[in-house]
Structure 1
Amino acid sequence: MAKRVNNEPLRALAEKMFVEEGMTAKAIAASIDVTEQTIGRWRKGIQGDISWDEKRKQYLTAPHNIKKILMNELGDLAEGKESKLDVKAITEVRKAMEFLSETISAQVVMAVLKEFDSWMAVQDPEIAVSFLEWHKLFLLYKVQQEQ
Structure 2
Amino acid sequence: MKTRTKSEMNKIRDIAEDYYIRLGKKGRDIADMLGVTEQTIIAWKKGRDGERTWDERKRDMELTPLKIRELILQEAHKTLSGQKSELDADRLAKLMAAYDRLSKKTNPRTVMDVFMMFDNWMTDEEPDLVVKFTEYHRRFLFYIIERES
TM-score (norm 2): 0.47
- Give the TM-score, by structure 1 length: 0.47
User: Of the two, which has the highest radius of gyration?
Assistant: 1
